[in-house]
Amino acid sequence: MLHRLGIISDTHGLLRPQALAALRGCERILHAGDIGKPEVLHALNELAPVTAVRGNNDKGVWANELPACARVELGQVGIYLLHDLAELDIDPARAGIRIVISGHSHKPSISERDGVLYLNPGSAGPRRFKLPVAVAELAISGAAVHARSILLEV
């Protein structure tokens, strides 16, 4: 069975229609922090169930209810979600994690080290410097994992 997950981060209160369009049809959405306001999560939840973590700019009662990190299991694949990769305090491979998703840098990236896929969707919110505005998609089938960045035209 193929699972399609939408990955988004660093919205900073701005949920663009292009991001919503790119995430439409995903069975689950993971938000890697710096959400900006709870309305972003409400809008994403209208598309699919959302798992979100708190970013360094997420403040207030609504944000305090979010975890700093989250673990998601999808079939045979363990996913670890946090905002800032520099704060990763586990050995993902040893912990049975196949994918680590983070945000914070606003720079989309996909890399693999020691059998662990590291995915940063980039920022879907306000443009920072000359970095692209982007989200990402994960396709998982059994133990097979495929990630791709989706650059948004804004």
The CATH number of 2-151 is 3.60.21.10
- Give CA–CA dist 97/101, Å, rounded: 11
Q: 114-137, pLDDT tens digit by residue?
A: 999 999 999 999 888 889 999 999
Q: 1-51, pLDDT tens digit by residue?
A: 889 999 999 999 999 999 999 999 999 999 999 999 999 999 999 999 999
- Give CA–CA dist 48/16, Å, rounded: 16
Label the pairing between strands 69-74 and 77-82. Answer: antiparallel
Q: pTM of whole model > 0.95? A: yes
